[in-house]
Amino acid sequence: MDPEFGVGTAPRKRASWRTTLLLAYQSLGVVYGDLSISPLYVYKSTFAEDITHSETNEEIYGALSFVFWTLTLIPLIKYVTIVLRADDNGEGGTFALYSLICRHANVSLLPNRQVADEELSTYKLEYPPEVAQRSRVKEWMEKHKKLHTALLVMVMIGTCMVIGDGVLTPAISVFSAVSGLELSLSKDQREYAVIPITCAILVFLFALQHYGTHRVGFLFAPIVLSWLLCMSAIGLYNIIHWNPHVYQALNPSYMITFLKKTRKSGWMSLGGILLCMTVYPSLILGYMGQAAYLSKHHNFDASYQIGFYIAVPGLAVITVMLVTTCLMSVAIMLCWHRSPLLALAFFLFFGSIEALYFSASLIKFLEGAWVPILLSLILLAVMFVWHHVTIKKYEYDMHNKVTLEWLLALGDKLGMVRVPGIGLVYTDLTSGVPANFSRFVTNLPAFHRVLVFVCVKSVPVPHVLPAERYLVGRVGPPGHCSYRCIVRYGYRDVHQDVDSFETELVESLATFIKLDALFRCSDAGEPRDSSCYERENALTVIGSNPLRRHLGYDDSHDGVSSSAYETRADADSVNGIELAAAPAPAIKKQVRFAVESRSPGVDERVLEELRELCEAREAGTAFILGHSHVQTKPGSSVLKKLAVGVGYNFLRRNCRGPDVALRVPPASLLEVGMVYVL
């Protein structure tokens, strides 16, 4: 990016304390509404095994000690203190960690990585590239391709486990909260009250999602805040009233005593303690208060077990934690450039704790934990098959792409014509002419006067600024009117609708034509050195308003964009091109590309190219997409035939096609059949 043209962006300002408090308040109703209800079932699940309560209270103190140190070590120290520091422009989670690792080391399996992506404002590196290049761990990981696959599979496992847990978590949380009514209901009434009330609350909650997460957060934040305050107050009361010495349980030696006395039953009960990892201060007081009460009431009723509902999340959650620990260990070495010994210490310390809980959770597999695990495995298979075939299709396209010379020679062939309009050829390739275009012109010997090869690609950042979204370049000489446009999206970006994309694409092409003219000629009208700017096949960032103002672009509007354009020449724009919207009753927009013939470095060829772009836009736009069918090579294994020939084609037929995902108008769609033999 050239700072002369204002494409660069200023650093983001630090959020004010008011904004932080507002977001924290709002998150209470969204996140902590689920996390803060663990006291309802942790002790019940923990003591559901064959654990007796002695007068010394060692079992209760041991359980409280496990709860306290689990809350302290994993959520507070591991996540809040360490993991949250490895954020990706404010985004967190398994996928954000993977994105950070892919930026700092070439371990991504996607082959469409470009040097230009590293110039994005959100493409932040912890250390300069020259420092990162000296990492031996980075070189070792980049050299072994199997590690790339293993890393991706690990990320997929973590993501699928989150989804599998999230499918059942709302029902578990609401059911646990409503189960408190059992204390005031008879045994006959429980059957007809708890489950119907749970279902009604779930329907109500999901109906509210239509209004947006922020509104739901504001609605439930006061309720959750009141719950946390009441739980803290009740905990303090129980500590003072029943057992002020319960703080002794914070001694970690009680954990050892607990396991020695309870043996297998205590190890199995760790799956219940795992459920406590939620909101820290209020829960600590709540659990201490519960322990103080139980220390004086040993007839704790464990006859009623939540069973299935408690066992369901006891394995999915801890698997995600293990995945996070592994990814964080890699990020410590690659992103923070810390010693491998430090990363190993992090992995061994937190990994051993989580492995203990993981082993205890395995016992719950047949009691219900298999449900999210099975769902996660199905999702994992879908993700892996889709990703694997996508990579193979990309490699097939790279191998079968046609040369630029073939494209330029088409105009000289007998019977090949250029028809009015703009042709947008969608492709996954970031370079070269895709095979589906050669199939198109072979069967229909004509293509549009303005040809644009469009590649919509994802980059390992959460967001791409609109001013940096478009990479535009030429395919061939200026007279051929063929361009390449790479549209970059982050993994948290929402794709544009076709109307706004089409309008911005035409504006970006016109801006690029003028920018290209400036690069070709100096201010004095002399050609630049060819080493400064490669005129053909070069890609330029197009998008910011300062850049367009520098080039004479004027945007004056009082409404939304329109799709109709017309060419004008008037007193205000002599020898210029103006793209203006057709008049509407109350909404008008004029987008003007003013190119004066007196401008240095601008000649009739630039004016003609802009005029052709304007006329082509007026003639209409066609969207040329590939309609692919995948089949396996003869002699392929049965597993590959099932995964590719059956699984992928089934997914492709039952998923949204590219035309739906890109919101392409059916009247403007041209599909080209492609058979991929993998």
- pLDDT at residue 216, rounded to an integer: 80
Q: Is the confidence at residue 178, as pLDDT, over 50?
A: yes
Top-confidence residue, 523 or 488:
488
Q: How many domains does the chain have?
A: 2
Same domain, 275 and 325: yes
- Label residue 511 exposed, middle or buried (CB < 10 Å: 0-12, 13-18, 19+): buried
- pLDDT at residue 559, rounded to an integer: 32
Range of the domain at 349: 17-120+133-367
- Label residue 405 exposed, middle or buried (CB < 10 Å: 0-12, 13-18, 19+): exposed
- pLDDT at residue 101, rounded to an integer: 93
Cβ distance 389 to 678 under 8 Å? yes
**In Å, what is the CA distance from 369 to each residue of 42, 164, 270, 312, 357?**
16, 10, 15, 4, 14
- pLDDT at residue 542, rounded to an integer: 81
Structure tokens at 608: 């003609």
- Mean pLDDT over residues 63-86, rounded? 92
**In Å, what is the CA distance from 305 to each residue of 309, 355, 593?**
9, 25, 72
Task: List beta partners, residue 446.
Answer: 417
DSSP secondary structure letters along 656-674: --HHHHTT--GGGEEEEEE
- pLDDT at residue 355, rounded to an integer: 93
Q: What gap in Å lies between CA 330 and CA 97, rounded to an integer? A: 9
Residue 435 pLDDT class (50, 70, 90 cuts): confident
| pLDDT above 90 coverage of the chain, percent | 22
Domain boundary pick from 367, 384, 409: 367
Q: Is the confidence at residue 6, as pLDDT, over 60?
A: no
Residue 190 lies in a domain: yes
Sign of the Cα pseudo-torsion (208, 210, 213, 219, in order): negative
Q: What gap in Å lies between CA 343 and CA 338, rounded to an integer? A: 7
Residue 74 pLDDT class (50, 70, 90 cuts): very high
- pLDDT at residue 499, rounded to an integer: 73
- Label residue 529 exposed, middle or buried (CB < 10 Å: 0-12, 13-18, 19+): exposed
Q: Is the confidence at residue 222, as pLDDT, over 70?
A: yes
| pLDDT above 70 coverage of the chain, percent | 79
Top-confidence residue, 378 or 521:
378
Residue 537 pLDDT class (50, 70, 90 cuts): low
- pLDDT at residue 299, rounded to an integer: 67
Three-state secondary-structure class, residue 521? strand
Q: Is the confidence at residue 589, as pLDDT, over 50?
A: no
Closest C-alpha among 540, 608, 618 to residue 579: 618
Residue 608 lies in a domain: yes
- Label residue 308 exposed, middle or buried (CB < 10 Å: 0-12, 13-18, 19+): middle
Least confident of 76-90, 402-416, 447-461: 402-416
- pLDDT at residue 581, rounded to an integer: 32
Residue 1 lies in a domain: no
Same domain, 327 and 208: yes
Residue 420 pLDDT class (50, 70, 90 cuts): very high
- pLDDT at residue 557, rounded to an integer: 36
Q: Is the confidence at residue 301, as pLDDT, over 60?
A: no
Same domain, 358 and 396: no
Same domain, 507 and 631: yes
Residues in contact with 239: Cβ distance below 8 Å, sequence separation at least 6, in sequence order: 246, 247, 285, 288, 289, 292
**In Å, what is the CA distance from 83 to each residue of 79, 338, 563?**
5, 14, 47
- pLDDT at residue 83, rounded to an integer: 93
Same domain, 473 and 611: yes
Residue 548 pLDDT class (50, 70, 90 cuts): very low
Same domain, 340 and 412: no
Three-state secondary-structure class, residue 39? helix
Range among 322-336, 390-404, 506-520 rated most confident: 322-336
Closest C-alpha among 397, 391, 395, 384 to residue 643: 384
Same domain, 307 and 421: no
Structure tokens at 399: 């191998």
Cβ distance 78 to 283 under 8 Å? no
Task: Please name the amino acid found at residue 379.
Answer: L
Residue 497 lies in a domain: yes
Residue 476 lies in a domain: yes
Residue 148 lies in a domain: yes
Q: Is the confidence at residue 226, as pLDDT, over 50?
A: yes
- Mean pLDDT over residues 476-491, rounded? 89
List, for residues 96-128, the tens digit of each pLDDT value: 999 999 998 889 888 888 888 888 888 888 777
Least confident of 50-64, 294-308, 480-494, 567-581: 567-581
Task: List beta partners, residue 577.
Answer: 593
Domain boundary pick from 367, 402, 435: 367
- pLDDT at residue 578, rounded to an integer: 36
Residue 10 pLDDT class (50, 70, 90 cuts): very low
- pLDDT at residue 563, rounded to an integer: 28
Q: What gap in Å lies between CA 388 and CA 550, rounded to an integer? A: 45
Sign of the Cα pseudo-torsion (250, 254, 255, 256, in order): positive
Largest Cα–Cα distance of the chain, in whole Å?
Answer: 99
Task: Please name the amino acid found at residue 225.
Answer: L
Domain boundary pick from 367, 401, 420: 367
Cβ distance 541 to 119 under 8 Å? yes
Same domain, 608 and 485: yes
Structure tokens at 358: 């993981």
- Map tokens 């290049």 to a residue: 133
Top-confidence residue, 181 or 260:
260
DSSP secondary structure letters along 355-409: HHHHHHHHTTIIIIIHHHHHHHHHHHHHHHHHHHHHHHHHHHHHHHPBPHHHHHH
For residues 607-628, one letter each, b for 16 or more C-beta atoms within 10 angstroms of the residue's C-beta and e for the rest, the string is bebbebbbbbbeeebbbbbbeb
Q: What gap in Å lies between CA 273 and CA 290, rounded to an integer? A: 14
- pLDDT at residue 313, rounded to an integer: 53
pTM for the model:
0.81
Least confident of 152-156, 317-321, 586-590, 662-666: 586-590
Sign of the Cα pseudo-torsion (251, 256, 257, 261, in order): positive
Same domain, 342 and 413: no
Q: What gap in Å lies between CA 189 and CA 624, rounded to an integer? A: 63
For residues 105-117, one letter each, b for 16 or more C-beta atoms within 10 angstroms of the residue's C-beta and e for the rest, the string is bebbebebbeebb
Cβ distance 417 to 389 under 8 Å? no
- pLDDT at residue 131, rounded to an integer: 67
Task: Please name the amino acid found at residue 529.
Answer: D
Least confident of 218-227, 230-239, 398-407, 595-604: 595-604
List, for residues 328-387, the tens digit of each pLDDT value: 999 999 989 899 999 999 999 999 999 998 888 887 777 777 888 888 899 999 999 999
Cβ distance 581 to 562 under 8 Å? yes
Same domain, 329 and 232: yes
Q: Is the confidence at residue 528, as pLDDT, over 80?
A: no
Q: Is the confidence at residue 440, as pLDDT, over 80?
A: yes
Cβ distance 274 to 310 under 8 Å? no
- pLDDT at residue 314, rounded to an integer: 67
Beta-carbon count within 10 A of 39 CB = 23
Residue 152 lies in a domain: yes
- pLDDT at residue 496, rounded to an integer: 75
Same domain, 354 and 398: no
Q: Is the confidence at residue 3, as pLDDT, over 80?
A: no
Q: Is the confidence at residue 422, as pLDDT, over 80?
A: yes
Q: Is the confidence at residue 87, as pLDDT, over 70?
A: yes
Residue 473 lies in a domain: yes
- pLDDT at residue 325, rounded to an integer: 95
Please give the mean pLDDT across all residues of the chain.
78
- pLDDT at residue 310, rounded to an integer: 46
- pLDDT at residue 168, rounded to an integer: 78
Cβ distance 609 to 478 under 8 Å? yes
Residue 571 pLDDT class (50, 70, 90 cuts): very low
**Assign residue 177 a region: left if phi > 0, alpha if psi is -120 to 50, beta otherwise?**
alpha
Same domain, 209 and 317: yes
Three-state secondary-structure class, residue 631? strand
